[in-house]
Amino acid sequence: MRTLVAITGVFAAVLASRAAADEIPVTSRLATVTVFPAGAEATRAARLALAKGEHTLIFDDLPAEAVPGSIRVDGKATAGLDIQSVDTRRRYIPRADQEALQAERKGIEDEIEKLRDERGLVQGQEDAAQTQKRLLQNLAQMPGHPQPEEGQPAQAAQPIPHTDWQQVLSLIGSGMTEAQRMALDAEVKKRDLDRRIEDLEKKLSALAPGRSEQTEVKVFVVAAAPLEADLTVRYQVRNAGWAPRYDARLATGSKTAPPLLELARRADIVQRTGESWDNIALLLSTTRPTANAAAPTIDTVTVDFEPEAKEALARSAPPPAPMAAYDGLAVRKKAAPGAGAESAAAEAAPELDVAEQGATIETAPFQAVFAVPGRLTVPSTGEAKRVFLQQDGIEPVLSVRTVPKLDAKAYLYAKLILPKGSPLLPGAVSLFRDGTFVGTGTLPVLSPGEEHELGFGADDQVRVRHAIADEKRGETGLISSARTDSRNYRITVKNMHERAVELVVHDHIPVSQNDDIKVEFVGPAQPSKKDIDGKRGVIAFESKLGPEEERLIEFGYRVIWPGARAIVYH
């Protein structure tokens, strides 16, 4: 096959020949999708036969979300085939099941109308029951003997018919009970009908419209002879992306076995592109396509004396532009994770361990691409699809860290050094220690060779105690008095493990913000590190603690300041 040649520029002769070119609808299938952290690039494939001459190929199965400037058409053909131009536009395409859709909508609308009529009848029954209740209440309030109205002359005594009021009251009671039952039944029926009407209205509104918006691509080609061609259409969509997820499983080892950290990398893929990714080959790329492909420009900032006539609103220098945080992705290359399981199974039993199949990785100076094994389906609903990428085995350096002034517990940390390859992506990590889930954390962007520590929960085999050994306030000096504030601390750490541990104790001392305030470090224990992580006054005591060994750390500080002033700790 010969590679197609794309002709840049559209000439007047080409425009004149388009009217004579026959239009050929082309049906393509979604073959591969490359997902970026923000956005994706889809590739559609189509195979067709063309006669010699000019043709207009029409692809109308691209989603409406396709970015017009990203659409590219290329491929291979059995003879000379020139692509003269590629045009795109948005268009509405009627659904193929239009008649069935309209019939379904009409059926739902008729059912809603029927239910509303039924609800009207039930409402009438409820109104009749309420009217009956009011009449019975009025009847119950009638007097036993009618009295002549005021000013009306008394009539001659007439025989009054006998009324069995006991029977009347009984009839009133039974009638009220029946009316109340009818009203309650009507209320129950109304609630049921309202729910059914609401469900049907939701179903009606959820039905897809009779037409869908799509992107139409017209490709104008000239075939030098009858040929067969395999064409590919590439385009980018915005409403898609992937994010890394990690599992960090730490085996703490024993007195004879070293610790091991297994870092499994996964990816959460989401998309709302308007087309379902069904049975496709999926690639995950670390590239971030963006409209800002170059660094921003910065303007000149000048400084001058303020004008003598001060303006009502003083002008201030613009603040420096914030640096964009690097959020690049990271990947690392590793052998297939199932090799160790296969050797153990061959040696022990016929059963084999079940393991996830990892992705292959291709690295380049500016990106890494994961090829997810198999073919996947990712619906266009925004629901995350999680896939396994790879797993690395790292020999960590374990240590125990404690901050006894804030928390009298020791915490286990594992320091890992990223091996050669591509960097790690920032993302959430689930932490497991000896098979037990202990919490979650985050991984920053890590380049090969960088160190990073992950916490794996409290270590109950290391006991920590913190106490204030001494606290004094006083004055010094004969001529000019000065005030002092002295504090001394005692920290005790005991290792209950059967092996030695690396111990790191963090604490702090005050930092003076004024030249007249002096801070002196006192005590036998001297910190091994100061100003940890760029925080002034934060110190660390590092040492190795043997099995069953107990370590005492004593230190303190003294603050001196002029006696006429007062100080405050922040």
pLDDT at 118 over 50: yes
234 neighbors 43 (Cβ within 8 angstroms): yes
Residue keyed to tokens 């170059």: 294
Residue keyed to tokens 């179903």: 203
Cα angle, residue 177 at apex, residues 176 and 180 outer, rounded to 5°? 85
Comparing 296-310, 397-411, 509-523, which segment has the lowest mean pLDDT? Answer: 296-310
Helix (H, G, I), strand (E, B) or coil at 123: helix
pLDDT of residue 208: 60
For the record, the structure tokens of 231 come out as 């064409």
AA identity, residue 356: E
For residue 240, list its beta bridge partners. 271
162 neighbors 215 (Cβ within 8 angstroms): no
Highest mean pLDDT pick, 127-141, 372-386, 436-450, 547-561? 547-561
For the record, the structure tokens of 72 come out as 């590219």
Percent of the chain with pLDDT over 70: 76
AA identity, residue 20: A
Residue keyed to tokens 């490709």: 219
CA 128 to mean position of chain CA atoms: 56
Residue keyed to tokens 């922040």: 570
Buried b vs exposed e over 391-405: b needs ≥16 C-beta within 10 Å?
A: bbebebebbbbbbbe
pLDDT at 5 over 50: no
Interatomic CA distance for residues 36 and 47, integer angstroms: 27
Comparing 137-151, 374-388, 424-438, which segment has the lowest mean pLDDT? Answer: 137-151
Structure letter (DSSP) for residue 171: H
78 Cβ partners below 8 Å, 6+ apart? 1, 2, 227, 228, 229
Percent of the chain with pLDDT over 90: 40
pLDDT of residue 401: 95
pLDDT at 453 over 50: yes
Model pTM score: 0.60
AA identity, residue 460: D
* pLDDT tier, 344 (very low <50, low <70, confident <90, very high otherwise): very low
417 neighbors 394 (Cβ within 8 angstroms): yes
Domain coordinates of the chain in residue numbers? Answer: 2-95+210-237, 98-141+171-206, 240-290+329-394+416-455, 462-562
AA identity, residue 259: P
pLDDT of residue 305: 66
Tell me which CATH code domain 462-562 carries.
2.60.40
Cα angle, residue 238 at apex, residues 74 and 274 outer, rounded to 5°? 85
pLDDT at 358 over 70: no
pLDDT at 11 over 60: no
Interatomic CA distance for residues 238 and 17, integer angstroms: 35
AA identity, residue 100: A
Least Cα distance to 31 among 229, 278, 300 occurs for 278
